[in-house]
């Protein structure tokens, strides 16, 4: 919240959330959330492409060596051992194909569906961000008017003080100047008196404006907090979803690798 005193600058320079327009750092997270969904889907797709490429390489390697063994001089149980190595590669190839399919058909689709349900994007903006910003603007509008009133009253008060100081200096110099007539000196004294009265009036207006904004502060903070909490809830849901999807992402490959290891162990022990 802005704190105003005679010694402060006219326009608040604080980075506080409560200052006009600073809520945009909060609503920007909605836009960021949408973009992060795209980044997450790109990450998943790139990993799926790696799984696909590795499976393809394994398949090509297995076929190449199977052909060479078929045509080569090896025979009997040793030939079967060679082919057993290649069979393991074929099974591992199938594993990576499954990982790729699950990443694309399950994990990525979850992200895509969640993004579609959570964010509604138009040509130029995300609906949810605009709604939050409109709500912040509505909550901030009365307080911003009071703040503008405070700032104007402050300028008027400081201007009156400068005018009074200038008039006092001129009156003091005039009193010491014997070339000036008593009427001229009297006019300057009247000007000083008038400027003092203007200072007092400006001070009272400034103090009244401060009292008015201070009285409204609790209502302002309450209204802004309601909107802020909605933004916080949206971000909390996004963070939880991302954590959950990361667990799904890592478990996909881990599950299939464990299954592969178990099958390999059973195959080994039965031989």
Q: For 83-116, what is each residue's pLDDT tens digit?
A: 999 999 999 999 999 999 999 999 999 999 999 9
Q: Minimal CA–CA distance to 196: which of 171, 179, 225?
A: 171
How confident is the model at residue 263, as a pLDDT?
A: 61
How confident is the model at residue 256, as a pLDDT?
A: 62
Q: Are the C-beta atoms of 252 and 83 separated by less than 8 Å?
A: no
CA distances from 208 to 35, 150, 172, 220, 255 (A): 47, 9, 32, 18, 69
How confident is the model at residue 257, as a pLDDT?
A: 64
How confident is the model at residue 258, as a pLDDT?
A: 63
- pTM reported for the whole predicted model: 0.78
Please give the Cα distance from 184 to 9 (Å, whole number): 37
Q: For 205-247, what is each residue's pLDDT tens digit?
A: 999 999 999 999 999 999 999 999 999 999 999 999 999 999 9
Please give the Cα distance from 215 to 153 (Å, whole number): 17
CA distances from 48 to 105, 119, 212 (A): 10, 25, 61
Quote the mean pLDDT of the chain.
88
């Amino acid at each position: 919240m802005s704190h105003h005193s005679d010694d402060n600058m006219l326009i608040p320079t604080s980075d506080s959330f409560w200052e006009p327009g600073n809520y945009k750092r909060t609503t920007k997270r909605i836009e960021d959330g949408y973009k992060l969904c795209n980044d997450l889907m790109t990450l998943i797709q790139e990993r799926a492409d790696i799984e696909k490429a590795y499976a393809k390489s394994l398949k090509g390697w297995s076929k190449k060596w199977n052909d060479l063994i078929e045509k080569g001089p090896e025979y009997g149980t040793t030939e079967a051992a060679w082919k057993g190595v290649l069979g393991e590669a074929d099974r591992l190839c199938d594993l990576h194909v499954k990982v790729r399919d699950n990443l694309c058909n399950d994990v990525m689709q979850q992200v895509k569906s969640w993004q579609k349900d959570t964010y509604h994007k138009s040509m130029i903006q995300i609906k949810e961000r605009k709604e939050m910003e409109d709500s912040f603007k509505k909550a901030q509008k009365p307080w911003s008017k009071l703040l503008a009133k405070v700032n104007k009253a402050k300028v008027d008060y400081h201007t009156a003080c400068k005018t009074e100081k200038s008039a006092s200096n001129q009156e003091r110099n005039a009193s010491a100047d014997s070339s000036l007539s008593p009427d001229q000196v009297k006019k300057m004294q009247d000007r000083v008196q008038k400027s003092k009265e203007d200072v007092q009036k400006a001070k009272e207006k400034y103090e009244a404006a401060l009292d008015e904004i201070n009285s409204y502060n609790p209502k302002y903070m309450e209204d802004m907090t309601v909107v802020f909490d909605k933004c916080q809830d949206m971000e909390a849901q996004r963070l939880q979803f991302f954590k959950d999807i990361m667990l799904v992402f890592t478990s996909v490959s881990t599950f299939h690798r464990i299954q592969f290891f178990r099958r390999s162990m059973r195959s080994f022990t039965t031989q």
